[in-house]
C-alpha cells in the first residue's frame, strides 16, 4: 500500500508542481481561440465556418477578469429558393467578464460579453447589439502558458420588435492558447 501511494505521488509530482499557477497576485490575461462556428439561423439552412476570438483583460486574485474580446466568424450558405451561395461575416467587439473558477493548472471558466456586432452578407451590412456567453477549460502546462478549449454562444441582434428578434446566432467550439503575465 505504501509503495503504491509513493508511486502515485512520484508520478503526480510534475502535475502538482505545474499546478502552482496560484492567484497570489493579479495579472494580465490574454487568450487566442480558433474554432468552428455553427449557425442557428431561422429561415435559412444551417451553415458552418471558421471562427476566432482574441481577448485581453486583467485577472484579479478572485479569478474575475474584466476584458475586451474581438471575435470573427465566417460561413457560406445557400438561401432557400436561391441558386447561389452567399458568404456571411460576423465581427464583434465585446467588453465583458470572464471568471476562472479554480486557481490551479486546470482552470474551468465561464464568460459573458455584451457589445457591438456587425453582420455582412453579400453587399448588405447590418449592425446591432452582440451577446457572447461561453464556458471552457484552460490547462496551464507551464506557469504562464496554457492550452484552452471552449464552447460559446453568440448572437448579433439587428432588430427587436416585441418578442421577435432578427439577427444571426451561432455556436462556436474550438481550442486555443491562454497566457498570464
* Residue-level pLDDT at 94: 97
117 pLDDT higher than 80: yes
* Residue-level pLDDT at 11: 47
| Topology (CATH level 3) of domain 2-180 | Porin (2.40.160)
129 pLDDT higher than 50: yes
pLDDT tens for 142-159 read 989 999 999 999 999 887
For the chain, the structural domain boundaries read 2-180
pTM, two decimals, is: 0.80
- Non-local (6+) Cβ contacts of 155 within 8 A are 130, 131, 165, 167, 168, 169, 170
Strand partners, 14: none
Q: How large is the average pLDDT for residues 72-91?
A: 81
Q: Which residue has the cell 455582412?
A: 120
Tally of CB atoms within 10 A around 148: 19
For 14, list phi and psi in degrees, rounded to 5.
-60, -40
| Degrees to nearest 5, angle at CA 36 with 32 and 40 | 125
Under the banding of pLDDT at 50, 70 and 90, the label for residue 162 is: low
* Residue-level pLDDT at 128: 93
Amino acid at each position: 500500500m505504501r509503495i503504491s501511494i509513493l508511486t502515485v505521488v512520484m508520478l503526480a509530482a510534475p502535475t502538482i508542481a505545474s499546478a502552482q499557477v496560484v492567484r497570489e497576485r493579479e495579472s494580465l490575461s490574454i487568450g487566442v481561440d480558433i474554432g468552428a462556428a455553427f449557425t442557428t439561423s431561422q429561415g435559412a439552412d444551417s451553415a458552418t465556418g471558421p471562427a476566432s476570438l482574441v481577448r485581453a483583460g486583467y485577472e484579479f486574485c478572485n479569478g474575475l477578469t474584466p476584458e475586451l474580446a474581438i471575435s470573427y466568424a465566417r460561413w457560406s450558405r445557400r438561401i432557400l429558393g436561391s441558386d447561389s451561395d452567399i458568404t456571411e461575416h460576423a465581427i464583434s467587439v465585446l467588453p465583458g467578464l470572464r471568471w476562472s473558477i479554480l486557481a490551479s493548472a486546470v482552470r474551468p471558466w465561464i464568460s459573458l460579453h455584451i457589445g457591438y456586432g456587425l453582420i455582412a452578407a453579400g453587399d448588405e451590412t447590418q449592425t446591432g447589439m452582440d451577446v457572447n456567453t461561453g464556458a471552457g477549460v484552460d490547462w496551464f502546462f507551464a506557469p504562464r502558458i496554457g492550452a484552452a478549449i471552449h464552447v460559446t454562444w453568440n448572437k448579433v441582434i439587428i432588430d427587436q420588435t416585441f418578442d421577435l428578434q432578427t439577427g444571426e446566432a451561432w455556436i462556436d467550439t474550438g481550442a486555443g492558447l491562454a497566457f498570464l503575465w
